[in-house]
A and B are shown apart, each in its own frame.
Chain A
C-alpha cells in the first residue's frame, strides 16, 4: 500500500480490496463509535470549490473520532506570497497527522507530497485523479451485487476534463470491468482512451450494451471556451433522454459523480422516469452515502494505521 493516495495507478487490487472491506465494515456498523482517529488532527485544504466531497471527508474524520483542521485558502499564506509547500510543511509541526487536499492543477498535489512528512490524500486534483470517487463507485456497484468482471460500463460526458474518468481508467480494469467512453470528439481524443477500453461518438449505438451508465458532469465553461457549440446541442446529442432510456438494458444502473446538471447530462423527464422504477436503478444518492464510509476506510488505512 502506498503512503499517500494521489493516483489509483499506484494501487493493486489487493490494496483496494483492503480499503473496500473496511468501508463495508464501517457501513455495517454505522452508529457505532469508532476511535481510530482519536487524538488525530486531519487537515483539509480545498483549493477548488466543493461542498459535498469536503463534507464527506469531514464527516468521515468525525465518525472516526478525529478532529478536522480547516486550512482555508482565503485566509492562508498563499496570498502573502508564501508557497504552498512551506505552508504545508508547517502543518506537521502544528500537529496535523494527515492532509486531505484538492487543487485545480494536475500535478500540484504530487508536488507538495514530496516533503510533507505525513499521509496525503487527494480530494480531487484538476483533470488528473479523484481516487476516492472511483473507490466509492466500485463499492456502490459491488454492494448492489454487480459482478464487475461481467460488467460493461458506458461512461458518457466530458471525458477530456474528467478526473473521475481518469481514476476509473485504473480502477475498473483492476476489477475486470469493461469500459466504453462516449463523448463528442472534441472531448474524447482517441489518445486518451486507455488500452483495452472502447470508445464511440454515437451514444445510441453503445447504450444497449451498458450494464452501468456512468454520466459525467459537463461544465458550462466548456461552451465559453468554444469546445461545445452549446449545452443544448450537447444535451440533444449526448444527453440521456426518454427516447434513449428505451435503449437501456432493463437492469442497467445509472451513476453520476455529482452534482448532476439536470437538463444536460440527463433530462428531467428521464430522471423522473428512472427514479420511479420499482427497483432503484439510479445510484446517485447511494454514491453520496457510500462516500462517507469509503473515506472513513481510506483515513483508517492511511492515517490510523489500520486499527480494525
Chain B
C-alpha cells in the first residue's frame, strides 16, 4: 500500500538527511524524500513530534528455530524484532540441527517468509556441526541466501581451520563473524574474572580469553591481502578494543559489534547470582565498559548488535553455574541506546543510526540502512517522549531473560515498516495482535 509520511524528522546518514522530511512510499520502495512533496494521491500518515529513520538491522540474534522452538521461533523472534524497531535480523547458526548446509538455510528463509514480519538473514556455520573440525559448505549456503558465516556460541579454536574458512569466504564477499574465545583460557568459567566474580567463588572467564583470539583473528585477516571481511562479535573488554584500534590504524579490514548490555552493565549486575546477568562473554569491569562506550563513540566499534539469546524461564531458573548463557535484546535495544546515549549526548542520533542500521546493512551486503529514493521502504518511527518501563511479561519474544526489567526508558519505536508494509504499530504486531489495525485505519487515526 502506498503512503506519505509527513510531519516527522528524518535521520538518514547515508543520504546526509537530518531534519523535517516528507517520505513518499510506493510499491514498497521509497519514491521520494523532500521537505515538501506537494499534493500526492496516496493516504498520508501524520508523524508530528516523531522521528523516522531507516529500519534497524541486528546482525546478531538467535532465533532458535529449528530445534529450540520452546525458547523462540522465527515468527516470535521476528515479532520481537519489529516490536523493537528492527526490520531485519541475521540469525546465528547454532540451532538443532545447525545451519551448516543449504537445507537449513532454505528452511529458515521459508519460515521467515511465512512469518512475514522482519527480513531474516541466515548466518551459516563456518564448520560442519559447529564442531570446529572441518569446513562447512560456505558456497552452497551463500547461494541459498546465507549472508555471513559464524560458529557463534563457540570459537574455531584451530587457527589453520579459521584461516581456511576466511579464505573460503573471501570471494563470496560475505563476513566471517568470529566469536572470540579461547576455550582453554575460559576453562568452563561463568563470570568475569574481576573482583565481583571472584567474590562469588564461581569459575571465571578472564578477559584475555577474548582478546587473545581477537589478536589472532586480526593477524589471520592480515594475511588475506586486504580482502575479506572479518567481523568480531560481541566485544566485551578494553584489551579487545585496543587491539581493534591498532588493527584499524594499520588498515586491517575488520569490523566489530558491541551489545547494549556490555555497553551499560558491569559484573556487579550479577549481584548475588542473578542468572539474568549471565551471558557469554560475561559482563566485565567498569574500565571495560568505559572503553566499549568510547569505542562506540569513536566509531572504532561500528555496530550495535543485541546477541538476542532467548531461554525458557525454567532454564534460567537453574543455579548460576548451570543456567544457560544469554540475554534477549530485540525489544529493549533501541530505547536503551536512546535513553543512555542519545539523551545524555554521548552519541548523536545520526551516529546511532549508522551503528544500528547503515553499518549492519553494509556488513551483510543487504538492502536497507538508508531511505534514499529507490531503497526498500524499511523504516522505523520512534516517539522520543513516550516512556516505558521494561516488563518482560509483555515481550513478543518467548524469552523473558533480560537484565533490564524495571528500567524506565524513552525512544520507544511506535511504527515499523518493512517493504512499505506496516508490521508494528504502537506496540501491536501484525499477525500477533488481534486488533492490529489496517493501514486505512492507522492513517485516519489522529494523535
Inter-chain CA distance A106–B196, complex, in Å, is 13
Q: Which of A106, A163, A191, A194 contacts B273 (CB 8 A)?
A: A106
Q: How far is the CB of B315 from chain A (nearest CB, A)?
A: 12
Q: How far is the CB of B312 from chain A (nearest CB, A)?
A: 14
Residues of A109-141 whose CB lies within 8 A of B: 110-111, 125-129
Inter-chain CA distance A242–B318, complex, in Å, is 48
Closest partner residue, chain A, to B322 (CB atom) = A105
Assess whether A108 is interfacial by the CB under 8 Å rule: yes
Residue pair B319, A107 in contact (C-beta under 8 Å): yes
Q: Which of B5-13, B115-123, B199-207, B212-220 contacts A (4 or more CB under 8 A)?
A: B199-207
Residue pair B321, A106 in contact (C-beta under 8 Å): yes
Q: How far is the CB of A170 from chain B (nearest CB, A)?
A: 9
Closest partner residue, chain A, to B200 (CB atom) = A106
Residues of B within 8 A of A111 (CB): 273, 318-320
Inter-chain CA distance A7–B194, complex, in Å, is 19
Inter-chain CA distance A39–B334, complex, in Å, is 58
Assess whether B195 is interfacial by the CB under 8 Å rule: yes
Inter-chain CA distance A189–B187, complex, in Å, is 15
Residue pair B272, A107 in contact (C-beta under 8 Å): yes
Inter-chain CA distance A224–B200, complex, in Å, is 24
Residue pair A166, B322 in contact (C-beta under 8 Å): no
Residues of A71-98 whose CB lies within 8 A of B: none
Residue pair B194, A107 in contact (C-beta under 8 Å): no
Chain A, interface size category, equals: 20 to 34
Residue pair B321, A191 in contact (C-beta under 8 Å): no
Assess whether A169 is interfacial by the CB under 8 Å rule: yes
Assess whether A1 is interfacial by the CB under 8 Å rule: no
Residue pair A126, B193 in contact (C-beta under 8 Å): no
Q: How far is the CB of A23 from chain B (nearest CB, A)?
A: 26
Inter-chain CA distance A188–B198, complex, in Å, is 10
Closest partner residue, chain B, to A159 (CB atom) = B198
Q: How far is the CB of B22 from chain A (nearest CB, A)?
A: 55
Total contacts A-B at CB 8 Å: 54
- Given A105-B322, A106-B320, A191-B193, the answer on whether A127 and B273 have CB atoms closer than 8 Å is no
Q: Which of B194, B195, B200, B204 contacts A128 (CB 8 A)?
A: B200
Residue pair A191, B319 in contact (C-beta under 8 Å): no
Q: How far is the CB of A234 from chain B (nearest CB, A)?
A: 20
Inter-chain CA distance A191–B194, complex, in Å, is 5
Residue pair B273, A192 in contact (C-beta under 8 Å): no
Inter-chain CA distance A189–B197, complex, in Å, is 12
Residue pair B321, A107 in contact (C-beta under 8 Å): yes
Residues of A within 8 A of B318 (CB): 111
- Given A107-B273, A128-B200, the answer on whether A192 and B195 have CB atoms closer than 8 Å is yes
Chain B, interface size category, equals: 10 to 19
Residue pair B199, A166 in contact (C-beta under 8 Å): yes
Closest partner residue, chain A, to B195 (CB atom) = A191
Residue pair A129, B201 in contact (C-beta under 8 Å): yes
Q: How far is the CB of A3 from chain B (nearest CB, A)?
A: 14
Q: Which of A107, A161, A189 contacts B200 (CB 8 A)?
A: A107
Q: How far is the CB of A194 from chain B (nearest CB, A)?
A: 8
Q: Which of B193, B204, B320 contacts A107 (CB 8 A)?
A: B320
Closest partner residue, chain B, to A192 (CB atom) = B198
Residues of B363-401 whose CB lies within 8 A of A: none
Q: How far is the CB of B117 from chain A (nearest CB, A)?
A: 36
Q: Which of B204, B273, B322 contacts A110 (CB 8 A)?
A: B273
Q: How far is the CB of A239 from chain B (nearest CB, A)?
A: 24
Q: How far is the CB of B314 from chain A (nearest CB, A)?
A: 9
Q: How far is the CB of B30 from chain A (nearest CB, A)?
A: 51
Residues of A within 8 A of B204 (CB): 189
Inter-chain CA distance A44–B195, complex, in Å, is 32
Residue pair B201, A106 in contact (C-beta under 8 Å): yes
Q: How far is the CB of A161 from chain B (nearest CB, A)?
A: 8
- Given A106-B320, A107-B319, the answer on whether A189 and B198 have CB atoms closer than 8 Å is yes
Inter-chain CA distance A106–B202, complex, in Å, is 6
Q: Mark B311-331, 1 if CB is under 8 A from A, else 0.
A: 000000011111000000000
Residue pair A128, B319 in contact (C-beta under 8 Å): no
- Given A189-B193, A191-B193, the answer on whether A107 and B198 have CB atoms closer than 8 Å is no
Closest partner residue, chain A, to B201 (CB atom) = A127
Residues of A30-73 whose CB lies within 8 A of B: none
Inter-chain CA distance A129–B198, complex, in Å, is 12
- Given A106-B320, A107-B320, A110-B273, the answer on whether A169 and B202 have CB atoms closer than 8 Å is no
Residues of B within 8 A of A126 (CB): 201-202
Inter-chain CA distance A125–B202, complex, in Å, is 11
Residues of B within 8 A of A166 (CB): 199, 201
Closest partner residue, chain B, to A225 (CB atom) = B187
Q: How far is the CB of A193 from chain B (nearest CB, A)?
A: 8
Inter-chain CA distance A127–B191, complex, in Å, is 14
Q: Could you list 9 A-B pairs, sorted by A, with CB under 8 Å?
A: A106-B321, A107-B273, A110-B272, A110-B273, A111-B273, A163-B201, A169-B199, A192-B195, A194-B195
Closest 6 CB pairs of A and B: A127-B201, A107-B273, A128-B201, A192-B198, A107-B320, A106-B201
Seed contacts A105-B320, A128-B202; 6 additional CB < 8 Å A-B pairs? A105-B321, A105-B322, A111-B320, A160-B198, A169-B199, A189-B204
